[in-house]
Structure 1
Amino acid sequence: MSATTGSSGKLTTALVLGIIGGVFGIISAIIAMLIGGVGAAFAAEGAGSIVGLGFAAVFVGVLGIVGGALAHGAPRTSALLLLLAGVGGFIAVSFAWLIAGPLLVIGAFLAWFGRGRSAAGPRAAPA
C-alpha cells in the first residue's frame, strides 16, 4: 500500500466518522431539547437554557457533517471543524454528546494525519 492510498483511507474514514458523528450529534441535540422542553413544561429551573444549548448542539452537529464532507478536499479545514464540533458538543450538551464526540474527535485526528504532503514538496531554504 502506498502512502497516497493510506492517506486516502484515513481521509475516507474521517469523512465517514464526521458524517456519522454529526448525525448522532443532531439526534443527541434533539433529545436534549426534548428533555429541556419537558422540564420547561413542568416549570423546572434552568430548563430554558437546556433548550438553548440543544439548539447550539444542532448547529455543532451540522458543523461536524460539513467538516466530514470536506475531508478529501480540504483536510486541514476538515480537521479543525471536526475538532470544534467534537469539543463544542461536549460543552453544549455534555453527557448527551457521549457517542458523537469521540467519533468527531477521532475523525479530526484522522483528517489531520491523513492530509499528506503538498504537491509542491518541501520549500527550499533561501540562499
Structure 2
Amino acid sequence: MENKKTVELVLGLIGGILGIIAGIYSMNIGGLASVFHVDRAVTVNNFGIGAIILSILGIIGALIVKNKTKLGGIFMIIAALGGLVCITYFYIPSGILLIIPGLMSIIKKKDESKPKAAV
C-alpha cells in the first residue's frame, strides 16, 4: 500500500499559510499600537513573529509528512499549539487546520495491505 498523505499535506499547507497571514496581521496590530504608545505593543509584535516561525514549522511538517509521517505530524501539532499560545484568536483557523492533519498523521491506521484470512 502506498503511503498517501495528500489530505494531511494540503490541510497543513493551508493552515501554515493562514498562520503566516495571521502572524503578519498580529504584527500590524502591534505596530499600530506602538504608534499610539500603547504598553506592550512590542510584545504583540514578538508574538506575531513567533507565530510566523511556528507556521513555517507547520509548513515544513506538512511537506515531510509523506516520508516521515510521525515527525511531520509532531511538527504540525507543535505549530498549532504554539501559534495558539502566541496569538490566540487570530490563530484559531490555522490551529484547527494544523492540528487535524497532525493528529491524522500520528494516529496510524492498521496496515490494510495484508490479506485477511478467509472465514
TM-score range, shorter chain: 0.7 to 0.9
- Where structure 1 has 5 or more consecutive residues not aligned to the other structure, the ranges are 118-127
After superposition, the Cα gap between the structure-2 partners of 1:92 and 1:53, relative to the gap in structure 1 and judged at 3 Å, is same
Relative to structure 1, the CA distance from residue 19 to residue 76 in structure 2 (aligned partners, 3 Å threshold; closer, same or farther) is same
Q: Which residue of 1 aligns with 2:115?
A: none
Deviant stretches of 4+, over 6 Å: none
Number of residues paired by the alignment?
Answer: 111
Query: Which of residues 66, 69, 74 in structure 2 aligns to 1:72?
Result: 66
Instruction: Give the corresponding residue for 1:19.
Output: 13
Residue matched to 1:96:
90
Displacement after TM superposition at 1:116 (Å) = 5.9
Stretches of structure 2 lacking an aligned partner (at least 5 in a row): 112-119
| Inter-CA distance 115–12: structure 2 relative to 1 (3 Å threshold) | farther
CA distance in 1 between partners of 2:34 and 2:99 (Å)? 32
Aligned partners of 2:95 and 2:12: how far apart in 1?
10
Identity %: 28
After superposition, the CA RMSD in angstroms is: 1.5
